[in-house]
A and B are shown apart, each in its own frame.
Chain A
Amino acid sequence: MPDKNFNHPSLFVAACLATLIYVPIAQHLLPSGEEGGWRAGPFAELGGAIAPADGKAWGLAANRELKRRLDNVERQLEDVSHVRSLLLPSVQWLLTSTAGIGNESVYPGREDWLILRQGFDYLVGPSFLEPIFLERRRRSASAWRPVPEPDPRPAIFDFAHQLAERGIRLLVLPAPTKMMVHPEALYRPRVESTPAPSEAAGGAPALDNPSFASFRAELEAGGVDVLSVAAILRQAQAETGVEQFLRTDSHWSPAGVEVAARVLADTIQQLDLPFNGPGVTWRRQQRTVTGVGDLERSLGLPGWRPLYTPQEVDVKRVVTGSGRPWQPDSRAEILLLGDSFTNVYSQPDVGWGRSAGLAEHLSFYLKRPVDRLAINAGGASATRRRLAQEMAAGKDRLAGKKLVIWQFAIRELAVGDWELVQLPASLASNLAQPRFSSLRSD
């Protein structure tokens, strides 16, 4: 029955329809750059014949392939949406500036701190070694998503065992997450509530995932050295007042990487390994670098009205006596495997300078050359896979090594896929195909 107070419902219906059809029209019909006329966009992927990689064009394999394409189309439609790209920066700016809201991967903290969600989840989330948690992660696999190996212990022990067979010792260095060192970046004390985390822990920076202590104890009992620098960084921050993490970036600050390298060097010296190679003396040059953090970039804020001031930091570049930048040395007796925590001050394209990363400072403090194999966003397995690949291809990165330092982001303990990576048995098997033929981005 038509409503007496609502004449012309057609206008309302037309407005709703126009809202719905504007987006596909803008996406596929309105001129975009050089292109005019109909553009199929992501739908083009549905056009080809179904021919999965395993060659089976029927049954479950075909269904899997079709499902993959449908998922791709849906995801790409969202990713390439003109309306989305038009709205997102402004809406994100509004939400972040007025309501303190980030996105799925970044949380705004107090003042101008930004927090990586995975780091937050690692810290406040469930114990990463709890059988229920591990099982839930294994069950997150589906026909279209491979089963992850959520338990880090077998992969670490396996790697340590393979290195031990070559006479190489393993030292594991989980790089802490920002809130382990700077809980004040997010925490707002409530009058009636529990004391601040650092106070609750008796002034010590004890914040960590509930599983970490037992994880560390188990590794050490199994003969794997573990260096946790969170407490030391927290202490350094308390003593010097210098922030050990970058405010809008997920990584440690130049001061933080320097402290970590110094403690790492001390730890290595305490291991009393029989290093034979010649010592090298480096010197350091201070430079000021101004950068925009990876977390701020992840927010996708508009360039026209920045919310965060670019951070200015002093980095210490490690150079030779003649002023040439530090370089990794494949003949070194120490190999550092790492991720972006290793690289953040080494790769100029990351935006925080060069020759001032973890390997450089470690070299400086040890007065020894160091070899480095680091992959940004490498997750739990990428560096080991790359190491295996290179060895299989004839480049034995482990030749002459006495110590391998394996640095990974500590959050990987709760989210990483800890696959077992088999290193080639010896260089005699160089001609054999590498087991891992391609790198997967984690």
Chain B
Amino acid sequence: MVFSSHLFCFYFLPLALAVYYALPWRLKNLGLVGLSYLFYGWANPAFVLVMLFSTGVDYVCGLTLAGHRPWDRDPVRKLEGNRRSRRQRLALAVSIVTNLSLLGFFKYFNFGVDSLDTMLATMARLGWAPADLGFDSVLRVTLPLGISFYTFQSMSYTLDVYRGRSAALRDPIDFACFVSMFPQLVAGPILRFNEVAEQLRQRTHSLSQSARGFAFFALGMAKKVLLANPCGKIADTTFDAASVSLVDAWYGVCAYAFQIYFDFSGYSDMAIGLGLLLGFHFPKNFDSPYRSQSITEFWRRWHMSLSRWLRDYLYIPLGGNRRGKTRTYVNLAVVMLLGGLWHGAAWTFVIWGAMHGLLLAAERLRGGEAATAHLPRLLRIALTFVLVLVSWVFFRAPNLEVALAYLGSMAGIGEPQPQAALLGGLIYQPYYLLTFTIAALVTWAAPQTWDVCRHLSWPKAWGCLVLFWVALVAMETQGYNPFIYFIF
């Protein structure tokens, strides 16, 4: 179930709000857990068991870290100092290994088997291995919805408890609520436990907050349905083509950049809005990333909750920038490489991550500045955007071969096949050109959703309402409604 669907908007959301507000305070988290499991189980009932398992392990590990038993009545305290017992270290290890194993199995099993098969086939071709060594695995593992998000989120709990940043939760319902909360379950923002720990126990509800929640939801929906979907159509057409011309290739990758931005940031806005409707304040996830003047700045503005997670739970534990320059560059590259792999189990994602890691390391080498630092601001933004576009080719292409061919088209290498000219008849339809232009204007010139919704006024509210209606009409009548991060 995705937010921009008939089922969610017209059935699940009204039901969720009715149930949530009908319940007394002490049962609200329980109600939220039930609703979240319904939301999650709708995609595949069996995957509820995977989430329950992950939740159960981390709950027990959290209490074990705190030296607390579920039936103990006294409040759970934060751990103090830096010294941890063998039992505590073991509990943390169990949590991390469990979550990474779940993620590894469900997300990377197919990738591992395919890569091994390819490697064995290559070795056989070179005569380094017998021809029949490769195996054709019949087992294909289906990726559970949102597993990349909730395993990271769940791990942040045990890590925060271990570090003494947060107290463990005694109530399993509160913990299940943190892990499964449906607004951000599928595509974030990735919550760190210490960001919402207090809100799980105490939060406020008000009409003005609900109004802001609906405004966020409406604008997010409009970004997703009215901008991301048409741009996605352009991108799909060009990336799925056997051959594209130079102009079409650039147009297509720009459209993809808009699609992924509006798709993901729109979904994040909807999640933030739903959180507000339920009394939660989620962190900002996008800060106009295409206005960045360097790749370093881009990563401070793009998928901010993931960047923070990787910084706090991977980059800093690896030593961050405290162990010399070389180690800092290596750490940056490793974090981005793993960040790339987190996005998807394919070599194209590894290359995407490695490319960003190298660019970040290069900028760090220059003291945190891009090589374009001496250029005018607009040019710096444009060049950063071009670098991001090139990296998006690896992110979007189904495989390395297509990515390289597409980059070749962007560079004007080779003559496009005759049928490539037909693409123009579709992707330059007035509707697509108009949407592309609006997307560009919103990207570089419009205020952010966050700013629009900070203080509502009636003109803003009317604007949100009209956009909401138009987006719902488009959602109801247009068949093309993919969601990119649904599969991550």
Contacts and interface: CB of A to CB of B under 8 A. Distances in A.
Same complex for A and B? Answer: yes
B173 to A, nearest CB: 25
B426 interface: yes
A196 B419 CA distance: 9
Nearest to A70: B42
Contacts of B202: none
Contacts of A132: 398-399, 401-402
Interface in B109-153: 140, 142
Contacts of A20: 9-10, 13-14
A188 B424 CA distance: 7
Interface stretch (A2-10, A31-39, A268-276, A396-404): A2-10
A393 B44 CA distance: 41
Given A132-B399, A132-B401, A206-B418, A13 B477 contact: no
A142 B142 contact: yes
Contacts of A110: 425
A57 to B, nearest CB: 14
Nearest to A139: B140
Interface string A81-92: 101100110011
A99 B434 contact: yes
Contacts of A83: 476
B46 interface: yes
A6 B455 contact: yes
Nearest to A104: B479
A19 B472 contact: yes
Given A63-B45, A121-B240, A124-B420, A6 B211 contact: yes
A173 to B, nearest CB: 22
Contact of B418 (A60, A126, A186, A200): A200
A124 B140 contact: no
A413 to B, nearest CB: 14
Nearest to B46: A63
A179 interface: yes
Interface in A109-126: 109-110, 120-121, 123-126
A101 interface: yes
A17 B211 CA distance: 10
A78 B42 CA distance: 16
B455 A5 contact: yes
Contacts of B14: 17, 20-21, 24
Interface residues of A, number: 74
Contacts of B464: 12
B458 A6 contact: yes
B6 interface: yes
Interface size class of B (residues with CB under 8 A): 35 or more
Q: Counting chain B CB atoms within 10 Å of each CB, which of A6, A120, A193, A195 scores highest?
A: A6
Given A16-B218, A16-B465, A99-B430, A190 B424 contact: yes
A127 B242 CA distance: 7
A138 to B, nearest CB: 10
B424 A15 contact: no
A100 B430 contact: yes
B428 interface: yes
Given A10-B207, A123-B422, A193 B247 contact: yes
A75 to B, nearest CB: 9
A351 B420 CA distance: 34
A282 interface: no
A188 B460 CA distance: 41
B417 interface: yes
A126 B142 CA distance: 25
B476 A87 contact: yes
A9 B207 CA distance: 6
A194 interface: yes
A48 to B, nearest CB: 16
Nearest to B472: A19
A428 interface: no
Interface in A39-88: 60, 63, 66-67, 70, 73-74, 77-78, 81, 83-84, 87-88
B484 to A, nearest CB: 17
B245 A194 contact: yes
Interface string A364-400: 0000000000000000000000000000000000000
A25 to B, nearest CB: 10
A187 interface: yes
Nearest to A96: B431
B480 interface: yes
A12 B211 contact: yes
B11 interface: yes
B457 A3 contact: yes
B358 to A, nearest CB: 27
Contacts of A16: 214, 217-218, 465, 468
Interface string A178-191: 01000100111010
Contacts of B214: 12-13, 16
A81 B242 contact: no
A299 to B, nearest CB: 12
A1 B456 CA distance: 11
A432 interface: no
A99 B431 contact: yes
A291 interface: no
Given A123-B419, A206-B418, A3 B455 contact: yes
Given A19-B472, A123-B419, A87 B206 contact: no
A81 B477 contact: no
Given A99-B431, A103-B479, A193 B245 contact: yes
A109 B460 CA distance: 38
Contacts of B461: 6, 9, 12
Contacts of B389: none
15 contacts: A5-B455, A5-B457, A12-B214, A12-B461, A19-B468, A24-B14, A66-B45, A91-B474, A99-B431, A101-B431, A104-B480, A124-B420, A183-B422, A194-B418, A201-B418
Interface of B: 1, 5-7, 9-11, 13-14, 17, 42, 44-46, 140, 142, 206-208, 210-211, 214-215, 217-218, 237, 240-243, 245, 247, 398-399, 401-402, 416-426, 428-431, 434, 455-458, 460-461, 464-465, 468-469, 472-474, 476-480
Given A10-B207, A78-B7, A88-B477, 8 more contacts: A12-B456, A12-B464, A13-B214, A20-B10, A20-B14, A24-B14, A101-B431, A124-B243
